[in-house]
Each structure stands twice: as C-alpha cells, then as structure tokens.
Structure 1
Amino acid sequence: MTEEQRSSHRRPTISDVAIRAGVSKGAVSRTFNGGKGISPGTMARIRAAAAELNWTPSTAARAVSGGPAHAVGLVLRRPAELLELDPFFPAFLAGVESALTSVGYAAVLRFVGDSHTEREGYEQLVGERRVDGFLLTDLRHRDPRFELLSRLGARAVVAGSPGRTCPFPWVSTGSAGQVRELIRHLIAQGHRTIAHVAGTPSLRHARRRRQLWQDTVVEAGLEPGPVVTGDFTTDGGARATRELLDQSPRPTAIFYANDLMAIAGLSVLAEHGVKVPDDMAVAGFDDISLASYVTPALTTVRCDYRRMGQIATHTLLAQLRNEDVAPQFTIGGELRLRRSTGA
C-alpha cells in the first residue's frame, strides 16, 4: 500500500482540517466551539475543509450541533512515580468521579509528557468537543494554561491557589495557617535551625510551602535553615535528607513539602543512627494513610483532597449550566501533631 493509500484510509483529525484550511488547530477549535475571535470568512473556510475531509460525526458533527459531550477533561503532566504514589491525585479523582456520576458525566484523562503535547491535548479535546470543560491541577508558576484555555473559549475550574491573574474560579486547601502553625510548633520545641525539603520549584504549591516556611521562621527572628529540592518523590526525599545530614552544623528539624519525602527521610535518618524526634524533628504535608503508622508517627498537615475534587467538579458543572459561581472556595487544612516532632 502506498503512502497516499494509507493516508486515504486514515481517519481525519483536527490537524488535517487545520492544514487544509491554512489555519492553526486553535482556530479550528474555536470555530467549532462558538467561533470566538474567528472572522466569518475564516469560519466558512474551516467548515468547508472539515466537510471536504469528512470529519466524523463523533467529533465535528457534535461541535456543529453544539451538543454537550457530557464529559470533563483533566490533562495531566507529571512524573510517573507521582501518579503511582501521590496522595493528591487518587483522592481528588475520587471526588471528581463521585460528583460526575450523579449527573451522568464522565472524566476524560489525558496524560502528557511535555508542554507541547499538553497544549495539543487541550486543543484537540476542545476542537473535537470531547469535553465540556476542564479541571486544572498541578498549577505552575505563570501557568500558560490560563491564557490557552481563555483563547480557546473553554470553561475551567482550578484546583489550587492560582493567584490574582487566574481568569477561572478556583478551589484551594487554604492550609497556609496550618503550615505556619506547624513551623511555630517546631520553634516552640526549641529548634533554631529548621531545614526545608522542597518540592518541584515550577509548581505553585511547592513554592507556596517554601515561602510559608521561610516567612514564619523569619518572623520568629531566626535565619531560615538550608533548603534542598526533593521533587516530591521518595528518591528525592532520601537524597535531600542525606545532603542535609552532611551540613555543618546539622539542622535539628526538617519540614518536608510532602509526606512521601518525609517518610523516605525517616528511613535515611534511621540508617544514620539519627533519633527522631530526640536528635531531629521531622514533619510533612498531606497526611497520607501511612503517616500515622510509621515509627515515629509523622506530624503533618491534612488536606481533604476528595472534597476538593467534589467542590471543583460541582463548580464546573454549575458553570456549564450557566449558573453564577463563587470565584473562590477554601476548604481548610488540619494540623496533625504526632511523635515525629515530640508531640
């Protein structure tokens, strides 16, 4: 079979329509999603290209008719280990599913490895009308998805604290007070050199936890201790802990940006004969199920990610019904003081 024959048997895509019409995939997406920002002449050319290529009813026809897809999209760009072990995503998705099932909607998940495939994923899901809106997680510093989805005319709700420039409603944990309370607890226990094992620097929640740790230490009249990036993984947490043990003088307390890194750190400290909490206090964030079962039990901040998923989804569904929604909803965290910090 020749290349031309193979091409003729291949199902047409949004890219084919864009090439035929001489426009971007985003222009095709907007044409079949209300036509925002597209001139009538360009829209006519795009629709003609779609008709010539016989773009299938399951995609183009749905867009032309304007019928809902009854689906919500999540495009995820994160390391494989975090998808396996991260406490946030399974709990958040459970909340999403519980909210969607009650109204006959489905979740469409798209896993991507880089910014290019991420952008293409959003453009395709919008252009082919596979979803009616998006839930955004893993917020990044100066997140480009806000501008992209606004340009595509897509509805979205953000899970996290996106900052003032976010054009979409958002649902946050509101755990800043609990992080500050945790650091003050360490200071009250007599610690004067408190280190931090940070998460991936490009993620807003990692930057936020680091800033809260630093601000609280400085407000107490102390110098911030050393910072090592652990990227939210167990391997990263173990490596960061070894690096901190090589510091002179050593810190007497470590605040880890998540529990996975903290539990890995407990193991490394035990290997080196460092007693917790006598020689080193350890605290994490998330309150995963193992946190209360490790020895010593881990002090941490609990966040209800399942409820976060439910509220974010209900907010998006209300948007899709053209109802007024609150621009911001805060869930609230809870400090769990345990033996790892001497509680």
Structure 2
Amino acid sequence: MTAPGEAARPKPARRPTIKDIARRAGVSESAVSFALNDRPGVSRDTRARVRRVAEELGWQANSAARALSGERAGALGLVLARPAQTLGVESFFLQLVSGIQEVLSARNIALLFQVVEDLGTECALYRRWWAERRVDGVLVVDPRTEDPRPELLTALGLPAVVIGGPPAPAAPGAHPDAAAPDAAAQPPLATVWADDAKAMARILDHLYGLGHRRIVHVAGLPGLAHTERRIRSLRTEAARRGLDERHVHSVTTDYSDAEGAEATRRLLDAARPPTAIIYDNDVMAVAGTAVAAGRGIPVPAALSIVAWDDSALCRVTHPRLTALVRDTPGFGRLAAQELLGVLDGGPHRTVQGELPHLEARESTGPASRD
C-alpha cells in the first residue's frame, strides 16, 4: 500500500519477450527464435513480420542468453598497456578510438576499453574475456618486438586485428622500405600497419635538404615494434646519406612531456648539440620547444623541431610545428573494418594504412652554421 501523502511509484517498464512477439505476430515462440536468430525453418515473409514486430516492441536480445547459446556478444575489446598518465596527454589514441567507434556504432557494436599496468595483465584480461564470452574479438595495439599476444589469441581462438604491427620479415637482403610480402607468409592474425620506414625517410629528406647533419630522434617506449622500426629506419637513412652515426641517433622515452623535456635538456647540454630533433609524438615536441625557449635557443634559427604526429597542439604552438600528418581516425576505421570482416568469415589480411605526409611549418629551417 502507498503511505498517506506518498505518491505512487510508477512501475518500471516491462521488457518485451519472445512470447510477446509471438502473440502479436501470430506465430509460435520457436518461429520467433528462428526468425530473430536468422536460422532456417521459417518463410521469408514470416521472418520479416517477426522482425518488424520485434522492432515495434523495442525487443533486444539478452546478452547473457546470447553468450550461453554461442551467439555473438555484440562487443569488441581494446586494451592499452601503458602508463595511464600518457593516455590523457596523447591525442593519437583518442583519434584512433574515434575512428574505431565510428565503424562499430554503425553496426550497433560496443567497444569495451580498458587500461592495464602491463602486458601480463593484458594477457590475463584476454583469457577472462574469452572465458566469459565478453567480446567477439579484440583490437591489439602497441605490438612488441617480442610479443606473447598473437600466440595467446590464436590458441584461444579469439579473433583479433593487430594495429600498427609490422608486416612479416622481408626476405634477406631486401630493402627495409620494401612492401609487405604476400598473404601466404603472414602471421595468423590480421594486421593493419603503417610504413614507419618511409615516413622517417620523408623527415630525413626534409631535414637533410635544409643542411642538418646532427639529428636526434627522441623516440617512444623501447621494445615497441614501431619504435624499433623508426630507430632502424633513422640509422638506415643516415647511413645512406653518409651521416656520422655519432651525430644521428635515437634516445627512448615513455612518450610523456616530462621525459621529452628531460631528453631535450640532455641533448642541448652536449658538447655538439643537435641542430634538429625529431619527436615521436606531439606532446614531447611541444615540451622540447618549451625547453629550447627557456634556454633562449631560437626555433628554427638554432634548432629545428619535427613532431611525428600532427595535432592541434602542433598548430597552435609558437612557432607552429612541422609534423607528419596522417588520418589517424581513418587508421582506426580500417582496423575496425578488418576485424568485422574476420568476424563475418573473411580472410586474415595484412593491410597497409595511408602513408603520412610531412607538413613543413615554422619550426624547421636551414641548419645553423657552427
């Protein structure tokens, strides 16, 4: 009973059931199940009528029941094993996720995203998701040079696409910029990748043409496949131009503005500091520019700066930063489309993303003479 003076509480709306659909459509409950699960046993007209009634009633499949019946969970997983503080300052992953979500939302598929401390925790999470049937597949980021995840996911039978993974190793003696080999040589997981070697070559072309001969690459986390590719490519491109390896090299960081700034201070304290610095993300490039300004080192008159990934930060910093421009949301869309293709029975492909172009702005100029 309702107490005096107390308003009656409205009853929560009842979710429509298969029985409700069957009653309104004038068919059996088994026919509704066949129609909604796209199974044989009902006519085309009956299937269409059942689905129309289900939509009118606002019926949605129960996710737990779907899992128990072996049907899809309606969600994909994305795990990021990086320091949590780097996620808040780096725009790359936000743009990547926006592209992924654009594709998934069109199919009414959810994205289950989680940040973890390390690779071991990430692998444990995959095992739990697989056991609980929480996701239909996963998007794997930050591939490592020694990476346990492809073998684990293959053993579990959990569909996956590796984002940014390297193509299979080229044949002995092949040029490092060579395209990926044919699909027969590919690993069992689908992969979308970016050609970091050619991107680095474009940066070196620009800086070398401006007369720079002392160039340092402030890289990201060591052990990541793309970090190693960029370091290797810098070394290759420097050797091709006859540059002294003592003056053209890479140093690794955690991608944060703090480590980017500290690396810049160490480089500028050297007896012969670099005349150009390439930073592996926009945040470190902005931090390096601030360090130079604090020391009274004019950019680009005395130091040229390049950011690997373009962002609003690069365009509003003074001077505006020369940067690699690429369609990061498009890269996310490509990865999501590939995973959905695998889930729909398509092949495990290795697909190359669009090659970024270098946009020269005010932070790069002719090398200073000293």
Cα displacement string for residues 106-136 of structure 1 (whole angstroms, at most 9, x for unaligned residues): 0011221123321210001111101000101
Of 176-185 and 212-221, more deviation after overlay is shown by: 176-185
1:214 and 2:235 are equivalent in the alignment: yes
User: What is the match of residue 80 of structure 1?
Assistant: 84
Secondary structure, aligned partner of 2:363: helix
Alpha-carbon contact 1:197-1:240 (below 8 Å) kept: yes
User: What is the match of residue 315 of structure 2?
Assistant: 292
Q: Offset at 1:163?
A: 3.6
Alpha-carbon contact 1:62-1:129 (below 8 Å) kept: no
Q: Offset at 1:62?
A: 4.5
Structure-to-structure mapping, 1:18-37, within 5 angstroms: none
Distance 1:176 1:303, change over 3 A: farther
User: What is the match of residue 46 of structure 1?
Assistant: none
Structure 2, gaps ≥5 residues long: 1-61, 169-185
The 1-side partners of 2:147 and 2:347 are apart by 25
2:199 maps to amino acid: Q
Secondary structure, aligned partner of 2:286: helix
Alpha-carbon contact 1:110-1:121 (below 8 Å) kept: no
Alpha-carbon contact 1:269-1:275 (below 8 Å) kept: yes
1:187 and 2:191 are equivalent in the alignment: no
Higher helix share: 1
| 2:120 paired residue among 113, 116, 120 | 116
Q: Offset at 1:64?
A: 4.2
Secondary structure, aligned partner of 1:138: coil
The 2-side partners of 1:91 and 1:297 are apart by 21
Normalising by structure 1, we get a TM-score of 0.79
Secondary structure, aligned partner of 1:92: helix
The 2-side partners of 1:198 and 1:234 are apart by 12
1:314 and 2:337 are equivalent in the alignment: yes
1:92 and 2:96 are equivalent in the alignment: yes
| 1:304 paired residue among 327, 333, 346 | 327
Distance 1:217 1:168, change over 3 A: same
1:256 and 2:279 are equivalent in the alignment: yes
Alpha-carbon contact 2:218-2:251 (below 8 Å) kept: yes
User: What is the match of residue 282 of structure 1?
Assistant: 305
Alpha-carbon contact 1:173-1:304 (below 8 Å) kept: no
Cα displacement string for residues 174-207 of structure 1 (whole angstroms, at most 9, x for unaligned residues): 3432321111211111111111211111211122
Cα displacement string for residues 214-263 of structure 1 (whole angstroms, at most 9, x for unaligned residues): 21111100113243323211001100000001111111111112221111
Q: Offset at 1:166?
A: 3.5
Alpha-carbon contact 2:102-2:333 (below 8 Å) kept: yes
Q: Offset at 1:58?
A: 6.1
Secondary structure, aligned partner of 2:72: coil
User: What is the match of residue 269 of structure 1?
Assistant: 292
User: What is the match of residue 233 of structure 1?
Assistant: 256
The 1-side partners of 2:142 and 2:224 are apart by 6
Alpha-carbon contact 1:176-1:212 (below 8 Å) kept: yes
User: What is the match of residue 168 of structure 1?
Assistant: 189
Q: Offset at 1:160?
A: 0.5
The 2-side partners of 1:58 and 1:299 are apart by 48
1:129 and 2:133 are equivalent in the alignment: yes
Alpha-carbon contact 1:230-1:261 (below 8 Å) kept: no
The 2-side partners of 1:314 and 1:227 are apart by 34
2:330 maps to amino acid: R
| 1:329 paired residue among 345, 352, 358 | 352
Distance 1:327 1:192, change over 3 A: closer
Identity of aligned residues (%): 39
Cα displacement string for residues 54-107 of structure 1 (whole angstroms, at most 9, x for unaligned residues): xxx966x64442110011011111111221011211111111111011111100
Q: Offset at 1:325?
A: 5.5
The 2-side partners of 1:155 and 1:185 are apart by 40
Q: Offset at 1:275?
A: 0.9
User: What is the match of residue 144 of structure 2?
Assistant: 140
Alpha-carbon contact 1:175-1:333 (below 8 Å) kept: no
Q: Offset at 1:302?
A: 1.5
The 2-side partners of 1:324 and 1:208 are apart by 26
Alpha-carbon contact 2:63-2:73 (below 8 Å) kept: no
Alpha-carbon contact 2:189-2:348 (below 8 Å) kept: no
Secondary structure, aligned partner of 1:340: coil
Distance 1:331 1:227, change over 3 A: closer
Secondary structure, aligned partner of 2:238: helix
User: What is the match of residue 3 of structure 1?
Assistant: none
User: What is the match of residue 107 of structure 1?
Assistant: 111
| 2:71 paired residue among 61, 67, 77 | 67
The 1-side partners of 2:122 and 2:353 are apart by 28
The 1-side partners of 2:350 and 2:217 are apart by 32
Cα displacement string for residues 136-183 of structure 1 (whole angstroms, at most 9, x for unaligned residues): 111111211001101101101111033426421111233432321111
